[in-house]
């Protein structure tokens, strides 16, 4: 799971202007990522699908979803 988290962190850092003090952890909800909006959720979905070679359901990327939930989906796919 740690490897998945590291890849997700790297993607978030590339896609979003994340402040240095912002920590991406398993319990971080997507809505707490700086500049999270519907357009950025599409970019994040594309990143996840290309990185992990799987399909991400649209409803998994709502603002209340946590990074941990995404990690679980990736691990179980």
Tell me, what CATH number does 40's domain have? 1.10.1200.10
The three-point CA angle 5-24-8 to 5° equals 35
Structural domains counted in the chain = 1
CA-CA distance, 61 to 48, in Å (whole number)? 11
CA-CA distance, 46 to 36, in Å (whole number)? 15
pTM confidence score: 0.92
| pLDDT confidence band for 76 (50 / 70 / 90) | very high
- Provide the domain limits for residue 47: 2-76
The reported pLDDT for the residue numbered 73 is 97
Question: 14-69 pLDDT, tens per residue?
Answer: 998 877 788 899 999 999 998 899 889 999 999 999 999 999 999 999 999 999 99
């Amino acid at each position: 799971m740690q490897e998945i988290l590291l890849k997700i962190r790297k993607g978030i850092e590339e896609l979003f202007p994340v402040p240095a003090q912002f920590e991406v952890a398993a319990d971080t909800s997507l809505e707490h990522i700086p500049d999270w909006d519907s357009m950025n959720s599409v970019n994040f979905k594309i990143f996840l699908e290309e990185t992990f070679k799987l399909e991400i359901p649209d409803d998994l990327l709502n603002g209340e979803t946590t990074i941990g939930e995404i990690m679980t989906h990736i691990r179980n796919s």
